[in-house]
Amino acid sequence: MPICTQSKFITGDHKVACKWPQFDRDDEEAVIRVIKDGDVSTNPIIHELENAYCKYTGAQFALAHNNGTSALLAAFFSLGLQPGDEVLVPSATFWASIVPMTWLGVVPVFCESEEERLGIDPRDMEKKITSKTKAIVVVHLWGLPAKMTEIRKIAQKYNLKVIEDASHAHGASWRGEKCGILGNVGVFSLQGDKLAPAGEGGVLLTNDQAIYEQAICLGDITRIIQLNSPVRRFAVTSFGVKTRIAPMSAALGLSQLKKLDQHNKIRNDNMERLSQRLEILGINTYLADAHIERVYFEFLISWKEAPIPLTRIIEIILEQGGQAAVPRYPLLHQQPLFVENNLENILRIEGWKSTYSSVNLPKTEAINQNLIKIPCFTQKNTQLVEQYAQVFEKIASGDLL
Ligand SMILES: Cc1ncc(COP(=O)(O)O)c(C=O)c1O
């Protein structure tokens, strides 16, 4: 039975506290400037966005895209992956981290997630390496940098490329280096939910000129001719898709990037304060270790010793006027695209048979079943932080069961 309104613990206004994206006059003016300029297709604002991402992350090259999905396709293409090549991937991520590779005939090989930071599990990765393995997709899920020390060691040992999907991790860093430049090629989505939203947009980053040029060849035909290299011969045809960002989005993405650190600080202050309270109760809030700086795209917690099932905890939080849910991504290895053998038709590799229906990732499934998503407070908010902390304290003490 829902509890009557007066007795609810959580009374703060989520609409205000969780408002995202947040656009202000600067953002509006940035977009309007492009429209007034009239060049709404190849406007130099695109280069400004790319230069700003290079400056912010330390990357040598950036290429803006119309979304993160196409930036990921460009990343796979730019590494020269061939049909039948295998890429180690996590199952706990958004589909776009991996599905674009299948259009190149490249085979995703699912690996377990690890418990500490919810990224791809380096130990399971190593077990799944074959003579066909060419690369690894690393996703810094929910803003938590993945286990890069171990991942880099394996990549080096087996000569594998690292593709970093940093779409949840604008501003996060690992050992002082920004996420997005920790592998051979990195990608940010700038979609509307993300930490530096552009409406729709994506940015590919790399320190490797050949990768940058290949990415241009795939999707930005007007820029191929500007390259001082043999790939200029593709200036008439490119490689079949067009993935350039719209300048209005580039303007918004640039304006938001300028405010990224300030916005992240507000989220981090709120969520770290709540985390301190929850950790005392034995709840894992995935606070960052000393050598990483995490950001909060979303706030996920796990409570192994919870006094009641997590589904009941979610119900109680909802009854108390709060918001709570299971993680937003269903595990990919269980999806029809894989288990119904549909990939055979997309990959079209002679003799290749799908074995996804027998993929088993018990550790990942257990981790996922143990996660609860709590709202991320994007505005400074002490009231809701206190109210959520109190509800968890009441659950822990048995007062709200
Ligand atoms: C982890 C991750 N990768 C890739 C994408 C794809 O980005 P886009 O929506 O910009 O295509 C998203 C989000 O949308 C994402 O969350």
Average the pLDDT over 361-388 and give the result.
96
How many C-alpha atoms does 355 have within 13 Å on its Cβ side?
A: 7
Map residue 161 onto helix, strand or coil.
strand
Q: What local confidence, expressed as pLDDT, does residue 381 receive?
A: 87
Q: What local confidence, expressed as pLDDT, does residue 345 receive?
A: 87
Give the lowest-confidence range in 59-63, 153-157, 233-237, 346-350: 346-350
Checking if the pLDDT of 341 tops 90, the result is no
Q: 0.95 cut: is pTM over it? A: yes
Atom nearest to 191 CA in ligand 1? 10
All domains of the chain, ordered by start, with CATH?
5-21+260-329+364-397 (3.90.1150.10), 25-259 (3.40.640.10)
Q: What local confidence, expressed as pLDDT, does residue 400 receive?
A: 84
Q: Is the CB of 94 under 6 A from ligand 1?
A: yes
Q: What is the pLDDT of residues 23-33, one digit of tens each?
A: 999 999 999 99
Mutate to test the pocket of ligand 1, among 113, 118, 140, 167 (most ligand atoms within 8 A of CB): 167
Residue with the nearest Cα to atom 7 of ligand 1? 68
Which of 11, 15, 10, 8 is CA-nearest to residue 377? 15
Checking if the pLDDT of 1 tops 80, the result is no
Q: What local confidence, expressed as pLDDT, does residue 6 receive?
A: 54
Cα(371) to centroid(ligand 1), Å:
21
Would you mind telling me the total number of residues written for the chain in this entry?
A: 401
Average the pLDDT over 148-165 and give the result.
98
CA distance 284 to 276: 10
Give the lowest-confidence range in 87-91, 110-114, 155-159, 377-381: 377-381
Checking if the pLDDT of 4 tops 50, the result is no
Q: Is the CB of 139 under 6 A from ligand 1?
A: yes
Give the lowest-confidence range in 190-199, 351-360, 386-395: 351-360
What is the DSSP code string of 80-112? T--TT-EEEEESSS-GGGTGGGGGGTPEEEEEP
What is the sign, positive or negative, of the torsion defined by CA atoms of 165, 171, 172, 173? positive
Checking if the pLDDT of 181 tops 80, the result is yes
Residue 5: pLDDT band (50, 70, 90) is very low
